[in-house]
Amino acid sequence: MEQIAFFVGAIGALGGAIAVVSLKNPFYSVLALVIHLVFLAGIFLLLMAQFLAAALIVVYAGAVMVLYVFVAAYVGGIEEPKWDASPELRVIGPILAVALFVAIGVAVLGSGLSALGTPGPDDIPAGFGTPEAIGHLMLEDFLVAFEAASLLLLIAAVAAIVLAGRRREDRNKPARGEQA
């Protein structure tokens, strides 16, 4: 049963990822990433990370992807011909990617970790991965990281307003689309 769930989740997540890279229209790439994230949340559930699975759906597939959809719609669907990178990258890209995969595989499988080849320990605590346990960790052991994350979010919000906000000198010039 667990194997079936894993392979369904893995095929869905891989299919979504390949679709993100290969679809021509960025709008469809965003929707493919939503599919990828939903299947990935299922895999998180298999690894007993209930809270993170819920957070991934709510924060990522819900909020962040809405931002992407709005921007993809705002800048318009610029279709890009398939496999249209510069000639050097078309050759070097796949070679580098295969080398990266081999390197990660060797690093993980050759690491000699004693838990490789097992499903992990059975005697994990009862509340593993629940919001309660993660909340205790965040607000007790990792309080500095929690506060740093909130500060980072504030800085990013200010940066978005500075970058994307309309400036005063821009108002005199016609915006894109009004002239052409």
Partner 1 sequence: MDIEWFLILSALLFTIGFIGVLVRRNPVVILLCLELMLSAGALAFISFSRMLGNQDGQVFVLVVLVVAACEVVVGLGLVVAMFRRRLPLDVDEMKELKG
Sites for partner 1 among residues 79-118 (CB under 8 A): 80, 83-86, 89-90, 92-94, 96-98, 100-101, 104-105, 108-109, 113, 115-118
Q: Is 61 in the site for partner 1 (CB under 8 A)?
A: no
Site for partner 1 in 117-136 (CB under 8 A): 117-121, 123-125, 128-129, 133-134
Among 110, 112, 126, 164, indicate the residue that binds partner 1 (CB under 8 A). 164
The residue (of 72 and 172) whose beta carbon lies closer to partner 1 is: 72
Q: Is 66 in the site for partner 1 (CB under 8 A)?
A: no
Q: Is 57 in the site for partner 1 (CB under 8 A)?
A: no
The CA-atom distances, in angstroms, between 80 and each of 72, 85, 100 are 14, 10, 26
Among 35, 51, 54, 57, indicate the residue that binds partner 1 (CB under 8 A). 51
End-to-end Cα distance, the chain: 59
Measured distance CA(138)–CA(144) in Å, rounded? 9
Q: Which letter, b or e, does each residue of 128-165 get, where b requires 16 or more Cβ atoms within 10 Å of its Cβ?
A: ebeeeebeeeeeeeeeeeeeeeeeeeeeeeeeeeeeee
